[in-house]
Amino acid sequence: MSQTCPNMRAIGRILIPTDDLDGALAFFGTTLGFSFQIEKSTGQGLLRSANVKTPNGVVLELVTPTPERAHLYTHPMVVLTVRDVDSTQRQLQAQGIDFLESIDPEQTWPVCRVPGSTPVQLQGAAQPDHPKTIVQGAAGVEWILVPSTQFEATVSCFADTLGLPIQAQGEPVCDRRFHRYAQCLTTNGVVLEVVEPIPTQRAHFSSPVVSLTVEDLRTAKARLEADGIALLSDIVDDSEQWGWFYFRLPGAGTFQLQGPYHP
């Protein structure tokens, strides 16, 4: 087992590329009722960007890159807040993790690709959007699925190298889209769940999937259907009055919606 990284902090922001920013904002702002602020381009190779603030404080940073930088914005990107960026980068490099070209040439936050091709950006702790502890079960983002075809290596990177405790692991009982899972808990309560998709599901689960918690899953599902959002599954019921389903947001990939559910 690798030496753990004691300065791991939290996840308060997730970067989501989209080629339909207006459509994504209509979904988050109108369908789900989240607040958002459209940002001006800040030299990061972006045409447009917007910050969507979910009710529990986790920010979804929607970005539309320029054609020249589009190759750097291929998947949703988890942003890890750490106390010491340099030491975390050195430790990841010592474990064979490759670091990529920075998405912002003017910024110092490095980007690496953990096993299974998931991009992760490291951010210093002294930031305006420093993550606050979330309330489990409250509306917002508290769950991020990390699909991987290198399951053991991905889990080892999060648990051993980055020091995220595993709170549960095994074979799914309800959601048979995956062979196995391991749930890693960050310090502000957001869960990174590494999952191994079955072969027929790999096309839908090829990059991180943000899970959005809502107050009433059945009502939210009806709103999505009324808005013509493509659903990828029926509601999965865990028999404890909680459920979830998957959908595809045009221009922004696969998402999950979860929340209280009464069949």
The pTM is what?
Answer: 0.90
pLDDT at 5: 46
Q: How many residues does the chain have?
A: 263
| pLDDT band, residue 41 (cuts 50/70/90) | low
- The whole-angstrom separation of Cα 162 and Cα 142 is 19
pLDDT at 118: 83
| pLDDT band, residue 87 (cuts 50/70/90) | confident
- Of 1, 57, 54, 23, which is closest to residue 227 (Cα–Cα)? 23
pLDDT at 3: 45
Predicted confidence (pLDDT) per residue in 69-81, tens digit? 888 888 899 999 9
| pLDDT band, residue 4 (cuts 50/70/90) | very low
Predicted confidence (pLDDT) per residue in 122-163, tens digit? 988 766 566 788 888 889 999 999 999 999 999 999 998 888
pLDDT at 246: 97
pLDDT at 137: 84
Strand, coil or helix: 49: strand
Count of C-beta atoms within a 10 Å radius of residue 233: 14
pLDDT for residue 119 is more than 60 = yes
Count of C-beta atoms within a 10 Å radius of residue 185: 16
For CA atoms 205, 132, 90, 163, the dihedral sign is negative
Token pair listed for 41 = 């381009």
Predicted confidence (pLDDT) per residue in 103-116, tens digit? 665 667 888 988 88
Domains in the chain (CATH in brackets) are 8-124 (3.10.180.10), 140-260 (3.10.180.10)
pLDDT at 183: 97
CB 262 within 8 A of CB 241: yes
Question: What percent of the chain clears pLDDT 70, i.e. is strictly above it?
Answer: 91
pLDDT at 68: 84
